[in-house]
Amino acid sequence: MRRLRRTWPVLASLLGATLLAAPVQAQQAAPTDQATRGGYLALAADCMPCHTAPGGQPFAGGRALNTPFGTLTSPNITPDAATGIGRWSADAFYRALHEGIRADGADLYPVMPYTSYTLITREDSDAIFAFLKTLAPVNAPRAPNGLAFPFDIRSTLGFWRELYFRPRSFTPDPTKSAQWNRGAYIGTALGHCGECHTPRNLLGAMDSSRNLRGAVIDGWFAPDIDPKDQRSALAGWTVAQIVEWLKKGGSAGKGTVFGPMAEVVHDSLSRLTDEDLTALATWLANSETPPPPVAVPPESREAATLYTANCAGCHQPLGRGIPGAIPNLAGNPAVQAADPNNVIQAMLNGIPAGGGYGAMPSFAATLDDAQIAAITNYVRTAWTPATGTAATPAMVASLRRADPLAGASTEAARQLCPAIGPFGSQPGLPALPAGAAALMRSANSADLANRADVLLADLRSANPNASDAALIDALMTAYCPAVANDPTYPNEAARRAQLDRFRAAMTTAMVRPPITAIDVTVPMPPDDLARARAAAQAARMPLEAWLARAAREAAATPAR
C-alpha cells in the first residue's frame, strides 16, 4: 500500500498498485472533446489517487488522508447527486479550485491543494468538470473526518485563509517562450509541484520565500527543484534527461525515481504527452534556446539623442565611463545580461554611491516608459551586441508599478510633490535604502514615528556627513510619490495631511535621543529647532546631548 503524503495541505495521497489498473474509463456517456481534454488534465493534476479509496471505485472518495492535524477523508467527485458533485455547476467547481470554497459555501480544508489549483484557468477547470460529469455516478457517502480540536471546527479555516491564501491566476512571463510558460503552468498549477517540494510553516502553509527549495514529507525528502536555484537537484541536467526521467522514471547517468516520486511518475507524469513533458522539463531546467540578439529598434536615432542628453555626460559618448568614478556601459555584464531589468531598474531608482563610484540619479520623473525602454535597448546594443530580451515600454511600466520609489513620474506625483519642498536642491542628496518608500507607505499614523526612526538611522549610518535637512529632503522626495499614487486617500487635502504627519514624525525623530532611560517626545517648531542646533554647534556638542543638558538644567532650576 502506498504511503500517504502527510504534509499539510497536500491533496496527493497515492494509492496501491492494484488501483493502477482500475477502470477509470467507466462512463455514463461518451466523452465530448472537452471531456476528453479534461480527462488528460485530470491526469496532469493527479486527481484520481486522492479521490479513490483502496479497492474502491475511482473518484468515489473515501481515501483517508493523514495530516499532522488529524485525518481527513477525500470526498466523492463522481456525478452522483446525493453523495458526489452531481448537483454542482461548472461555476461551483471552478470556485472550489480557484477559491477553495465548496458548492455549499463552506471553506475547503487546504488538504485540497487549491493553493496551487487557484492558478488553473477557467477553461481547464471547465474541461476537468466536463470529464468528471462523464463518469458513472457512485453512491458513496463520505466518512467523517478525524481532525483534532480545534482543527475539526471548519469555521477556523477563515483565519488560515486570511493569513495564507489569496486567489490568483497564472500569469505568463512575457520574457519567456510559450514552451517555458506551458511548463511553468503544468508545474505550478496542474501538477502542483510546490505542494511537496516547498517547506511549510507550523500551520502548514507553504513558505513562498523558499518556493520549491525542498521539504521533508513522511521521512522522505522532496528535493530542491527551484529552476532559479543553482543548487537545485536538477542543476546541470539537460531537458532531454529530465524528460526521460519524468516519462520512464529514470535517466542514464542520473539514477531512477523511488519513493513517492515513483508513484507520481507512474500515475501522472508518464501519461503526459512528450510535448508537455518537454515544456515541463524546459521550465525545471530553466533552459531555453537563447533568443536572437536584441536588435537596435527603429527609433535608435531618437534613442541615441536621449542617451546623449541624459547619460553621455557621465558615461561618455561611447559608454566607456570614467575609470574609478563612473561605471562603463559598453561591455558591462550587468548591462548585457539576457534580461534588461538591471538597466531599467537603475534608470527608475538610481544607484547610490559606493565602491568609489558616484551616485546615479533616478530618471523616473523625467523620462517616460518609452524613453527609458529606448535608452535601455540603445546601451545594450550600441557598442557591444547583447543577446536576450529587448526592453519594451510595457516592461518599464510593469517595473515602475512594482516599486513605489519609481512612482514620481505619474501625473499625480508631478502635481503634488514639487509643492512640498526643494527636492534635490542640496548637493549629494542621500540615497534612500531599497524599499524605504514601501516601508513608509505601509505605516499607519501610530507607527509612522517608529518607522521614521528606523529610516533616519539607516540614512545617517550610510550618510554620516549629510545634514538633517538633506536627510528629510531625501525621505520626503521618495515618500511623496507613494502618497500621491495611493488611491486610499480620497483627495489632495488628505494627501497633504499625511505628508504633514510624516514631516512632523521626521522632525520629532531628528531630536529624539536614540537611547534614553525615559523617552520624552516634544515637537519643536522649525525656528526653535534651528536655534537649538546653533547653540549645540556653538557648544561643540551633538544636538541630542545639548538638548538633554538643557532639559536637566531646566528641571533643576526652581520654579519662580
**How many residues can be counted in the chain?**
560
Question: Class for domain 178-285, per CATH?
Answer: mainly alpha
Q: Distance (Å, rounded) from C-alpha 531 to C-alpha 527?
A: 6
The better pLDDT of the pair 291, 36 is held by 36
385 φ, ψ (degrees, to nearest 5): -60, 135
Architecture of the domain whose range is 300-402: Orthogonal Bundle (1.10)
- Average model confidence (pLDDT) across the chain: 74
Would you place residue 526 in the very low, low, confident or very high pLDDT band (cuts 50, 70, 90)? Answer: confident
Q: Distance (Å, rounded) from C-alpha 76 to C-alpha 142?
A: 7
- Average pLDDT estimate for 36-47: 89
- Joined grid coordinates for residue 216: 521533508
Query: What's residue 430's pLDDT?
Result: 60
Most confident range (mean pLDDT) of 144-158, 193-207, 480-494 is: 193-207
Most confident range (mean pLDDT) of 158-167, 266-275, 334-343, 421-430 is: 266-275
- Average pLDDT estimate for 438-444: 53
Query: What's residue 555's pLDDT?
Result: 65
Query: What's residue 79's pLDDT?
Result: 92
Q: Distance (Å, rounded) from C-alpha 346 to C-alpha 379?
A: 13
Whether 252 has a pLDDT exceeding 70, the answer reads no
Query: What's residue 18's pLDDT?
Result: 25
* pLDDT tens digits for range 489-500: 788 888 888 888
Query: What's residue 539's pLDDT?
Result: 80
Radius of gyration over every alpha carbon of the chain, rounded to an integer in angstroms: 30
DSSP letter at 489 equals S
Measuring CA to CA, how many Å separate 164 from each of 114, 208, 220?
Answer: 12, 10, 25
pTM listed for this prediction: 0.48
Query: What's residue 375's pLDDT?
Result: 92
Q: Distance (Å, rounded) from C-alpha 428 to C-alpha 433?
A: 15
- Average pLDDT estimate for 320-338: 80
* pLDDT tens digits for range 207-239: 777 888 877 665 567 777 887 766 677 777 888
* pLDDT tens digits for range 260-272: 677 788 778 888 9
Most confident range (mean pLDDT) of 213-217, 372-376, 388-392 is: 372-376
Contact (CB, 8 A) for 156 and 106: no
Query: What's residue 507's pLDDT?
Result: 73
* pLDDT tens digits for range 55-111: 888 888 877 776 666 677 888 999 999 989 999 999 999 999 998 888 888 887 777
Least confident stretch, 12-26, 190-204, 501-515:
12-26
Cα 229 from chain centroid (whole Å): 16
Contact (CB, 8 A) for 132 and 79: yes
Do β-strands 215-217 and 146-147 pair in parallel, antiparallel, or remain unpaired?
Answer: unpaired
Cα 544 from chain centroid (whole Å): 41
- Average pLDDT estimate for 478-501: 77
Whether 436 has a pLDDT exceeding 60, the answer reads no
Q: Distance (Å, rounded) from C-alpha 112 to C-alpha 160?
A: 14
Query: What's residue 452's pLDDT?
Result: 64
Whether 47 has a pLDDT exceeding 60, the answer reads yes
- Average pLDDT estimate for 364-389: 81
* pLDDT tens digits for range 450-472: 666 666 776 777 777 777 777 77
Would you place residue 2 in the very low, low, confident or very high pLDDT band (cuts 50, 70, 90)? Answer: very low
Query: What's residue 10's pLDDT?
Result: 29
Whether 126 has a pLDDT exceeding 90, the answer reads yes
Whether 317 has a pLDDT exceeding 50, the answer reads yes
Instruction: Return the closest-CA partner of residue 323 out of 314, 333, 335.
Output: 314
